[in-house]
């Protein structure tokens, strides 16, 4: 199964700043996704990261706030822009080799906004 590494593992940021989270997969994958897990909650899908094209965002998430890149089949980034305390969450990257294959997750990035 794919091994997924996320960086940074945690960060504390100031209000109004931006942070870019990196997700690296150890093998080529078809699908990559970004999720948010707010404190005490389950996971909510932010967007599907599409290789070589714009990400597909879920309702309630917009590109200006959460720009995503996916330059190749093993790497993606999520930027959390103009952060506020409400953005304090765990952000997780996942990947799958195909539509009928299991999704595998990184350890997540724990983000706190002061």
Partner 1 sequence: KQEVTQIPAALSVPEGENLVLNCSFTDSAIYNLQWFRQDPGKGLTSLLLIQSSQREQTSGRLNASLDKSSGRSTLYIAASQPGDSATYLCAVAQSGTYKYIFGTGTRLKVLA
- Binding residues for partner 1, per CB under 8 A? 1, 4, 6, 31, 33, 35, 42-45, 48, 58, 92, 94, 96, 99-108, 110
Q: How many CB atoms lie within 10 A of CB 21?
A: 23
Compute the distance between CA of residue 19 and CA of residue 96 in angstroms, rounded to an integer: 25
CA-based radius of gyration for the chain:
13
Using the minimum distance from each CB to partner 1, give the nearer residue, 57 or 81. Answer: 57
Q: Left, alpha or beta for 87 (phi > 0: left; psi -120 to 50: alpha)? A: alpha
State both tokens at 64.
Answer: 């200006």
Compute the distance between CA of residue 79 and CA of residue 28 in angstroms, rounded to an integer: 22
What is the closest distance, in whole angstroms, from the C-beta atom of residue 16 to partner 1 in the complex? Answer: 27
What is the closest distance, in whole angstroms, from the C-beta atom of residue 17 to partner 1 in the complex? Answer: 24
SS3 (DSSP) at 87? helix
What is the closest distance, in whole angstroms, from the C-beta atom of residue 114 to partner 1 in the complex? Answer: 20
What is the closest distance, in whole angstroms, from the C-beta atom of residue 27 to partner 1 in the complex? Answer: 15
């Amino acid at each position: 199964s794919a091994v997924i590494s996320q960086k940074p593992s945690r960060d504390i940021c100031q209000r109004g700043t931006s942070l870019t989270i990196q997700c690296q997969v150890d093998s080529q994958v078809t699908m990559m996704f970004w999720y948010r897990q707010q404190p005490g909650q389950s996971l909510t899908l932010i967007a599907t990261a599409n290789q070589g094209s714009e990400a597909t965002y879920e309702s309630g998430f917009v590109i200006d706030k959460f720009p995503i890149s996916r330059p190749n089949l093993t790497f993606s980034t999520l930027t959390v822009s103009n952060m506020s305390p409400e953005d304090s969450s765990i952000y997780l990257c996942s990947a799958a080799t195909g539509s009928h294959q299991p999704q595998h997750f990184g350890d997540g990035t724990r983000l706190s906004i002061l």
